[in-house]
């Protein structure tokens, strides 16, 4: 009788990303220590000078991180367009499409309103801006934030091709929905084109799987560059603000989402959180709901059990309008900046912040840093100095990463609720601990 020795299984995607993240953070801190207060470390031999910052931080780390992020962004427009067309044309009943849109938008706006309410309540209790002598001479050059009227008008593209090339996701979504509806109503011609789009959808998702192989390396480069620049003393100065935002984000992700999921679907919140943890880690590293969208879609369908007809609608929509994490930052930042500049806000002002930030989330693109632009609009709405944004901008990158993880978790939660309510949800997949392992364990 021969005995067999079981070979250890290789690390899945989660493990590889975590290793890449930790190694990137360590590498970043080492380079920061090496470069010292001068911000660089150079070696000189005759007329030749070798810069560690130029070669590694601004060179290898920057190039590697940008290639990773760009490879994900490359998929966003084709994935959104193709998946939405596939999902819409399969809904031959226009009433069903209306129900999906109504439920999704309603839930996204509800969670955003809850998020900013929690954030402002915590900020008013903790008072993160009191007693902190922050400089107010810095300025932040804020771009003009769009009005709600402009957002609604600009949802409808005059040139769909230009909308795709410029990455205007609201316009792409509207065009894809209209195109899918037209296909569903076009009889045999629509059926023939549907088969083509379904094949394209399969190919795009395969491309997603291929590109996920470089994720651990991309995460390493992103973390290494970030932590070689970040100023530790600024984090210490803003520790109360930083901690308040994090606390609000954790409450929203670990309490609000599970409660809503349990209330509307009866599904096990612990199972849900376990299945989205890899997605959250991935979103943390990219800081972009849009760039993370391919992984969000895979998680919603392969791991959670939502039918692609629903997920291909709710996930792209969520990546565009679901900005719970950004709303939390705006709520805490508004209170923080008001306290730093000793400006007293009335109860009406706080209600205006909640309303403005909730509606602004509809027009907030899912890309890194855009929350600061929308924050400028919120501050202007209640008469606070926009230059206060410069105070928090130093730590916003780290918070931006955590906000994105919360956003994509919310996308999946809403997808589960909508799919369950439409009878398009597979409970067996949700309860199967091995579901989606083929996606997680790619090498």
In the 8-state DSSP scheme, what is residue 117? H
Going through 312-436 in order, the beta strands assigned E by DSSP cover none
Distance between start and end Cα atoms, the chain: 33
Cα maximum dimension of the chain: 81
Q: Give tens-digit pLDDT for 44-69.
A: 877 788 888 889 888 999 898 888 87
Say if residues 321 and 358 touch (Cβ distance below 8 Å). no
Find, among 38, 37, 234, the residue nearest to 138 by Cα: 234
User: Which residues pair with residue 44 across a beta bridge?
Assistant: 49
Q: How far apart are CA 125 and CA 307, in angstroms?
A: 42
Q: How far apart are CA 330 and CA 370, in angstroms?
A: 11
Tens of pLDDT along the chain (443 residues) come to 444 333 344 566 667 877 888 898 899 889 888 888 777 878 887 778 888 888 988 899 989 888 887 887 787 788 778 877 877 776 656 677 778 888 988 899 899 889 989 999 999 998 887 765 544 444 444 445 556 677 678 878 999 999 888 877 668 878 988 898 899 888 899 989 999 998 998 888 788 777 777 878 888 888 888 778 766 554 555 678 888 999 999 999 999 999 999 999 999 999 999 999 989 988 888 777 777 888 899 999 999 999 988 898 888 888 877 888 888 988 898 888 888 777 788 887 888 778 767 765 554 444 444 566 567 667 776 777 766 776 676 567 678 788 889 999 999 999 999 999 999 999 999 988 776 565 555 43
Find, among 352, 398, 384, 390, the residue nearest to 372 by Cα: 390
Burial class (CB in 10 A: 0-12, 13-18, 19+), 269: middle
Give the C-alpha distances (Å, rounded to integers) separating 10 from 23, 59, 443. Answer: 18, 31, 8
Q: How far apart are CA 37 and CA 232, in angstroms?
A: 12
Say if residues 257 and 415 touch (Cβ distance below 8 Å). no
């Amino acid at each position: 009788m021969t005995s067999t020795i079981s070979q250890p299984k290789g690390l899945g995607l989660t493990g590889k990303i975590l290793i890449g993240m930790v190694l990137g953070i360590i590498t970043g801190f080492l380079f920061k220590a090496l470069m010292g207060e001068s911000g660089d470390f150079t070696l000189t031999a005759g007329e030749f000078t070798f810069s560690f910052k130029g070669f590694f931080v601004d060179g290898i780390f920057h190039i590697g991180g940008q290639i990773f992020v760009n490879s994900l962004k490359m998929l966003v427009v084709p994935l959104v367009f193709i998946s939405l067309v596939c999902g819409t044309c399969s809904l031959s009943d226009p009433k069903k499409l209306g129900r999906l849109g109504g439920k999704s938008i309603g839930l996204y706006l509800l969670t955003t309103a809850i998020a900013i309410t929690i954030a402002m309540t915590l900020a008013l209790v903790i008072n993160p801006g009191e007693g902190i002598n922050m400089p107010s001479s810095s300025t932040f050059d804020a771009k003009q934030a769009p009005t709600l009227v402009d957002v609604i008008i600009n949802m409808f593209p005059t040139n769909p091709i230009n909308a795709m090339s410029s990455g205007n996701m609201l316009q792409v979504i509207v065009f894809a929905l209209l195109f899918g509806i037209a296909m569903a109503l076009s009889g045999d011609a629509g059926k023939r084109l549907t088969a083509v789009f379904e094949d394209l959808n399969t190919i795009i998702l395969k491309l997603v799987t291929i590109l996920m192989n470089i994720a651990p390396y991309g995460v390493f480069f992103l973390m290494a560059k970030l932590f070689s620049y970040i100023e530790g003393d600024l984090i210490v100065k803003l520790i109360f603000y930083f901690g308040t935002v994090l606390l609000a984000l954790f409450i929203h992700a670990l309490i609000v989402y599970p409660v809503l999921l349990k209330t509307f679907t009866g599904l096990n919140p612990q199972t849900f959180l376990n299945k989205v943890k890899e997605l959250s880690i991935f979103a943390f590293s990219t800081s972009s709901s849009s760039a993370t969208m391919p992984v969000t879609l895979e998680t919603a369908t392969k791991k959670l059990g939502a039918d692609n007809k629903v997920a291909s609608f709710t996930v792209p929509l969520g990546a565009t309008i679901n900005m719970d994490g950004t709303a939390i930052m705006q709520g805490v930042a508004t209170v923080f900046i008001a306290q730093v500049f000793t400006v007293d806000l009335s109860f009406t002002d706080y209600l205006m912040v909640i309303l403005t930030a909730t509606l602004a989330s509809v027009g907030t693109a899912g890309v890194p840093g855009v929350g600061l632009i929308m924050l400028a609009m919120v501050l202007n709405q209640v008469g606070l100095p926009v230059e206060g944004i410069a105070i928090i901008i130093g730590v916003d990158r780290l918070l931006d990463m955590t906000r994105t993880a919360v956003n994509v978790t919310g996308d999946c939660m809403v997808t589960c609720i909508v799919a369950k309510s439409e009878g398009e949800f597979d409970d067996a997949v949700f309860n199967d601990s091995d579901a989606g392992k083929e996606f997680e364990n790619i090498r």
